[in-house]
């Protein structure tokens, strides 16, 4: 880092403010893109690509109410965020997690009198 003189301070502060403004703009754009990605509406073929399932499998899961879907007329639509949450909810617990849950349930029960 080069040494600065007192006379350079106004220029340095001006440059810092400009950089901060550009960083704030980038963060706002990134936030808007993230919100738009979560609210993104998918068709059944796009949902099939995202989930790596066939279109027929998705139709079957919708009929069995196994997957979150929206129907408008004869068409099915899916929100990307809902599908990703649906995948996360299907997570298989480890043996340790199951044991911890069981211990919590038994320890939280009141003893019989």
Find all residues with CB under 8 Å of 43, minimum gap 6, and list them.
75, 76, 77, 78
pLDDT tens for each residue of 44-67 = 999 999 999 999 999 999 999 999
2-15 mean pLDDT = 86
User: In terms of residues, how long is the chain?
Assistant: 113
pLDDT recorded at residue 35: 64
| 13-51 residue pLDDT tens | 999 999 999 999 998 888 777 666 667 899 999 999 999
Give percent of the chain above pLDDT 70: 91
Distance CA 77, CA 59 (A): 11
């Amino acid at each position: 880092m080069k040494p600065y003189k007192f006379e350079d301070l106004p220029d340095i502060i001006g440059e810092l403010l400009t950089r901060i403004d550009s960083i704030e703009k980038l963060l706002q754009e990134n936030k808007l893109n993230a919100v738009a990605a979560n609210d993104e509406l998918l068709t059944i073929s796009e949902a099939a690509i995202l989930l790596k399932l066939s279109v027929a499998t998705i139709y079957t899961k919708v009929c069995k109410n196994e997957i979150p879907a929206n129907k408008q007329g004869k068409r099915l639509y899916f929100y990307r965020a809902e599908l990703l949450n649906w995948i996360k909810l299907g997570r298989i617990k480890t043996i340790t997690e199951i044991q911890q849950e069981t211990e919590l349930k038994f320890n939280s029960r009141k003893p019989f009198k």
